[in-house]
Amino acid sequence: MHARLEAAVPASEEGGCFLQKRKYEPNMDKKRTKEVDADACQRLCQATSGCAFFSWDTGICTLQAQNAKLVDGRGTAGPKACAAKRQCCFHLGHTTQLQLRLGTSFISDSQAAKALDDEVLGRSLEEVADEGRMVWRELLSRVDVEDAGDLTSQTVSRLRIFYTCLYRSLLFPRRLDEQTHRGIQHWSPYSGKVVFGTGVTDNGFWDTFRTVYQLLALAYPKELGELIDGWLNAFKAGGALPQWASPGYREGIMVGAYSDVVIADAMLKNVSGFDTE
């Protein structure tokens, strides 16, 4: 797991190995190399004699020598190598609260920085929380309880139990895919490689094939199609459909082939979003 964070109070140093919206200059030469991300650009720096720093911006990697200066930019910049251990200290002063904005990724450090920029950078805790509430409100509102009776305390309690159970039913399986500069990609626990497409994990089909997946087929067919596409990508990566993914294959734990049942049932219910061939 890779993680990048931004603190709401000043840090004791400029912070981190990879710096966002910065660059080093001048370049070692006029050559501009295409690299997939900042990690690849850093590796190129490590393999290049005389390189001390790198700068990466939207697929373009440039290298800088030891005398380069750090200036404002649009992309990601960093040294030839990151320290093995990095500590982050905060001078709180009289502040009693510390707010952190955290970006994570299973793919790379630079992808975690992208997630930080795309999802939470410059936004308040309340704004991020409100967005999450809206997503869950839309999902839960797809199931409407009719004729619930008078709005007594007992009715409210039962509705709360029902929607709590519905919420928990939608927590798993878990999506692993991320929006990268190259499109939708994910780190596959079934092959250990970064691949394109939807990634899915954390599910035991033994009981969910006749419970959770039936619910998804009825109320969440679009999401079910995306999940099955992810399970098929697991098959492509590892050579078999997982029966209990957590996050990769767990051999010898769950018998049967209930993931096959899920796919066949979805096809019979005309669920789209995955390759039926």
Q: Taking every pair of C-alpha atoms in the chain, what is the biggest distance, in angstroms?
A: 77
Average pLDDT estimate for 232-239: 96
Tell me: pLDDT of 14 over 70: no
pLDDT confidence bin for 37, thresholds 50/70/90: confident
Q: Give the residue among 173, 170, 163 at the shortest CA–CA distance from 143.
A: 163
Q: How far apart are CA 36 and CA 40, in angstroms?
A: 6
Kind plus residue range of the DSSP H or E element containing 226: helix 221-238
Average pLDDT estimate for 42-53: 91
List, for residues 181-216, the tens digit of each pLDDT value: 999 999 999 999 999 999 999 999 998 999 999 999
| Residue ranges of domains in the chain, CATH in brackets | 17-79 (3.50.4.10), 133-171 (no CATH), 172-269 (1.20.1050.60)
Q: How far apart are CA 231 and CA 1, in angstroms?
A: 21
What is the pTM assigned to this prediction? Answer: 0.70
Q: Give the residue among 112, 139, 167 at the shortest CA–CA distance from 2.
A: 112
